[in-house]
Amino acid sequence: MPLPWNRSRRCNFVCLTARRARQRLWIAGVLVLLLGAHGPSIWAAAPSGLATPELPSGADRKTDLDDGNPPQAAHWAFRPIARPQVPRVKNTKWVRNPIDAFVLAKLESKDISPSPEAGRGQLIRRLKLDLLGLPPTPDEVDAFLADNRPGAYERRVDAYLASPHYGERWGRHWLDLARYADSAGYEMDYPRSAWRYRDWVIDAFNQDMPFDQFAIEQLAGDLLPGAALGQRIATAFHANNMLDAGQRWESIIDRANTTGVVFLGLTVGCAQCHNHKTDPISNREYYQWYAFFNEAETTNLDVATPQENEKRQALEARLHALEIQLAERESALTNSLPAWEANLDDGQLAKLPFTARQALETPPEKRSEDEKKTITDARLGLDKQRVDLANSIGEIKGQIASLPIVPILVDSPRQTHIFIRGNPDQPGDPVSPDVPAFLPPIPKADHLTRLDLAWWLVAPENPLTFRVEMNRVWMRYFGSGLVETENDFGVHTPPPTHPELLDWLACEFRTRGRSLKAMQRLIVSSATYRQSSMNRPDLENQDPRNHLLARQQRIRLEAEVIHDEALAVSGLLSARIGGPSVFPYQPPGILDGRATKAEWVVSQGEDQYRRGIYTWFWRLTPHPFPTLFDAPDAIATCTRRGRSNTPVQALTLLNDPAFVECARALTARALRENPRADAEAIRQIIRRCLGREPKPAEQELLSRLILEEMAAYSTAPERAKSVAANACPPEVAVSRFATWMAVSRAVLNLDEFMTRE
C-alpha cells in the first residue's frame, strides 16, 4: 500500500534527488537529414516561427523574483552565447587547434608551461579507453608505434569514432543521465523490458545523430508527425524512470527535475515548495515547467511476437482471476474484524506489529481512520491465504512485465495545479505549460506541449543547453568540467575556469551540426588532451586541482570499463552489440528478501561475457560489482559518478570469481604462446593489460613472485588443481599454471590497470 503523503516524505524525496544529482529549435534555415531507421524527419514538426532570426530577450519579461536587474545580465550562464575570439599566444608551435589557444593563453598569463605530450603507447591506451571503453591490443599498439606517417594519431581517432563500440561507451554515459534500469524500482521493483531504449541510444551515438534531434526524440518523439517506432522508443528516456502507481506525481517531479538538470544544468526542483532560494525560478514557474510532463502518461509499447502475446493473454486472465479472489478474501477478512479482535489471545497479539497493538488499545468507537487502517492491514498481513494470493499476483505481474514491451510516453492532456508548499494533496491555482521567464521565451501557442519544450531547449537562443552539454563532454575527457558543478549552472555556481573556451565550444557545436563526434574529434586531437599526466611538483601550489589544464588527469575507470577491460585482455569478451540484458555471475543471496521474487539465472555461452552495459540492473537489488565501483543507482539522474578507493575494491578484483576466471583465461593465453619463456610471458601479460613494456623492477618483482608461488604449489598439488580448475592447457603443468595465475591476478589488480593515465 502506498504511504500517505506527508511533508517529510516530500522533502526527503526532493533532497534525495538533489543530492544524488549533485554527486554523481529555433533552426535558422532548412536542414536536410537522412534519418534512415530513425523514421520521418523531425524538422517537419518544427513549430511555426522557428526560422525567426531573433527572439525577444528573456530580460523583457518580469518574474516573481525580479528586482529590476535582469538575472542574465548578472550571471554568466544566463547570457546569450557569443563566439569569442581565439586568443593570441606566444608558443604557437604547441597549438594544434583553437582549444589549445584558449588553454595556453591562461597558462602563459600565469607563467606556466604545458606538460609534454604523452608517450605514444600511453596516448593510444588513453584514446581507446576514452572513445571505446576498451584497451588497445598489443598488435594495435605495435602498429601505432610503427606508423611514422603524418596523421597516424588522427587516423586512430577516426577509426575509433567509426567503431560500433563507440556507441556502447558513450551510450553508457547517457544512460547514467537517463537513470536507465531494467526494473521499476520501489518495493515491488517489477522487471521491465527497456533494453530497446538502450539499443536506441547506442545506435544514435554510433550514427552521430545531431544532438538536437537526439534530445527532441527522447523528450517528445511520440508527438512528432508520423512518429516512427524508434522515435517512440526514444521516449523511454522519461518513461523508464521510477514509477509508483499510487504516487504518480513523484514520477512527474522526477521528469521535470531531470530535464532541468540534464539539459539546462539547473536545480529546478529547488522551487517545488517555494521560490528558488538562489536562481530566478518562482514556485509558480516550477509548476508551469512540471505541467509539460504532467500532460504525458506512461504506457507499454507492445513489440511481442504472436506466441508471446498468447502467453501474455493467458497470464492476464490468470491475474484477473487472482485479483478477484484477493478482493473477495480481503472483503471477508475486513468484515470479520470485530470477531477476530474479540478472539485475539496473547500469543496472537505478540505477532502483530507494534503500531497495530497500540491501535487495538483504543476503544473501537474512538479509533481514528489511521488506527482502523493499521488494524486492518495487520489482519490482512497475517492471513496466509491472502499473502499467498498477493505473492502470486506479484509474480504474474513480473512475468507480464518481462515480456517484450517498451515503456514509452504518450500524450495525455490534463489540468496542472500548483502544489501548496509542495503538497499534492493541497492543489492551488491552475497553471499552463511554460518556461522560466528569465530565459528566452518559448513561442506562444494555444497550448504548449512537450514538443514545443524540446524545440525550445535546443534553440540557438537558449543560453544553457549547449554550454551544459559541451561542459559534460569536456568532463569525460579531463575528469572535471570547465564548470566544476556540471549539474548546476545556477547563480551560486563557481564561474568556468575557461569561460571563453566553453562558449567557443558551444558555438562550434552548433556550427558543426550538433555533431558530438565532430566535437570529440576536436577535443582528443588537441595538444591539451594529448599532454602527459606526469607529476608536476611546480603545480602543487599553483594549480593542485589542474584547473589550468597544464597536464592530463589520471581518471579511475568506471565499473563497466574495468569489467570490460578484464574480459578483453583475457580474450573472453563478446563483441556482440545490443540485445536483451544478460545475467553474468553474481554472488548468491543478492535477491533474497525482495517483496517481488526474482531469480538470477546465470547466462550461458557468450552472454556470460557481454560488456557491462548489458548487465541486468535491478533498482532494488543491483549487481554488487557496479555498485562497488560507484555506478549510479538509477533512482535519480547521475551527471557525474563518484570515484571511491576502498580495500574492498582491491579484494574484489583479486578474488571475485568473474575476475578469477579472467585471470585463468589470461594465464592460459600467455602460457600457450610462451610455454617456457618466463620473461616473455611476463612481457605479454603486461602488454595486454597495460599497453606497454614491463619495467625492469616489475620483471624482477614478478619473477620473485613466480619462484615463491612455484615453491608453494609444488608441495600442494590439490590446491594447485583447485586454483587452475579446468583452464590449464594439457601441455602445461598444473603447478606452473597455478603459479602464473598469481601473476595474472596481481596485474589485473594494479592501480594502472583500472586507471586511465
pLDDT at 30 over 50: no
Residue-wise pLDDT tens digits, 173-230:
999 999 999 999 998 898 888 999 999 999 999 999 999 999 999 999 999 999 999 9
pLDDT at 33 over 60: no
Among the listed residues 464, 467, 477, 472, the one whose alpha carbon sits nearest the alpha carbon of residue 505: 467
Q: Torsion angle of alpha carbons 722, 726, 728, 733, nearest 10°?
A: 50
pLDDT at 72 over 80: no
Question: What's the CA gap between 32 and 685, in Å, rounded?
Answer: 50
Residue-wise pLDDT tens digits, 74-86:
899 999 999 999 9
Q: How large a percentage of the chain has pLDDT more than 70?
A: 89
441-468 burial, b at 16+ Cβ within 10 Å, e below that, comes to bbbeeeebbbbbbbbbbbbbbbbbbbbb
Among the listed residues 484, 506, 497, the one whose alpha carbon sits nearest the alpha carbon of residue 548: 497
Which phi and psi angles does 551 have, rounded to 5°?
-160, 170
Q: How large a percentage of the chain has pLDDT more than 90?
A: 70
pLDDT at 709: 94
pLDDT at 50 over 70: no
200-217 burial, b at 16+ Cβ within 10 Å, e below that, comes to bbbbbbbbbbbbbbbbbb
pLDDT at 604 over 60: yes
pLDDT at 299 over 70: yes
pLDDT at 387: 85
What would the mean pLDDT of 455-473 be, rounded to a whole number? 97
pLDDT at 402: 63
pLDDT at 730 over 90: no
pLDDT at 528: 98
pLDDT at 726: 86
Question: What's the CA gap between 270 and 11, in Å, rounded?
Answer: 10
Among the listed residues 2, 81, 751, the one whose alpha carbon sits nearest the alpha carbon of residue 469: 81
SS3 531: strand
pLDDT at 46: 53
| Cβ 708 vs Cβ 638: under 8 Å | no
Location of C-alpha cell 509508483: 244
The grid coordinates of residue 32 equal 536536410
| Cβ 714 vs Cβ 707: under 8 Å | no
pLDDT at 23 over 60: no
pLDDT at 31 over 70: no
pLDDT at 737 over 80: yes
pLDDT at 697 over 70: yes
pLDDT at 364: 86
Question: What's the CA gap between 270 and 643, in Å, rounded?
Answer: 26
What confidence category does residue 292 fall into, taking pLDDT thresholds of 50, 70 and 90?
very high
pLDDT at 644: 95
The Cβ-side half-sphere exposure at 588, using a 13 Å CA radius, reads: 0
Question: What's the CA gap between 713 and 736, in Å, rounded?
Answer: 8
Neighbours of 247 (CB within 10 A): 18
Residue-wise pLDDT tens digits, 236-271:
999 999 988 778 999 999 999 999 999 999 999 999
pLDDT at 9 over 50: no
Span of 39-48, 451-460, 600-609, 747-756 with lowest mean pLDDT: 39-48
pLDDT at 530: 98
Residue-wise pLDDT tens digits, 672-683:
887 767 889 999
pLDDT at 69 over 50: no
What confidence category does residue 12 fall into, taking pLDDT thresholds of 50, 70 and 90?
very low
For residue 117, give the DSSP letter: B
The three-state (H, E, C) secondary structure of 499-516, written as one string: HHHHHHHHHHHHHCCCCH
pLDDT at 294: 97
SS3 59: helix
pLDDT at 738: 94
Residue-wise pLDDT tens digits, 551-586:
999 999 999 999 999 999 999 999 999 999 999 999
In the chain, the N- to C-terminal Cα span, in Å, equals: 50
Among the listed residues 81, 53, 57, 84, the one whose alpha carbon sits nearest the alpha carbon of residue 71: 57
Among the listed residues 631, 554, 683, 634, the one whose alpha carbon sits nearest the alpha carbon of residue 130: 554
pLDDT at 73: 54
Angle at 152 between CA 123 and CA 611, to 5 degrees: 55
| Cβ 203 vs Cβ 39: under 8 Å | no
Sequence spans of domains, the chain = 306-403, 654-756
The grid coordinates of residue 299 equal 504506457
Among the listed residues 53, 62, 78, 49, the one whose alpha carbon sits nearest the alpha carbon of residue 443: 49
What confidence category does residue 751 fall into, taking pLDDT thresholds of 50, 70 and 90?
very high
pLDDT at 397 over 80: no
The grid coordinates of residue 42 equal 523531425
Neighbours of 35 (CB within 10 A): 17
Among the listed residues 658, 662, 663, 648, the one whose alpha carbon sits nearest the alpha carbon of residue 584: 658
pLDDT at 68: 41
What confidence category does residue 313 fall into, taking pLDDT thresholds of 50, 70 and 90?
confident
Burial grade of 130 (CB within 10 A; 0-12, 13-18, 19 or more) = buried
Residue-wise pLDDT tens digits, 478-503:
999 999 999 999 999 999 999 999 99
pLDDT at 401: 63
More confident residue, 418 or 300: 418
The three-state (H, E, C) secondary structure of 162-183, written as one string: HCCHHHHHHHHHHHHHCCCCCE
Which residues partner with 756 through β-bridges?
555
The three-state (H, E, C) secondary structure of 553-609, written as one string: CCEECCHHHHHHHHHHHHCCCCCCCCCCCECCCCCCCCCCCCCCCCCCCCCCHHHHH
Angle at 131 between CA 130 and CA 133, to 5 degrees: 65
pLDDT mean across residues, the chain: 88
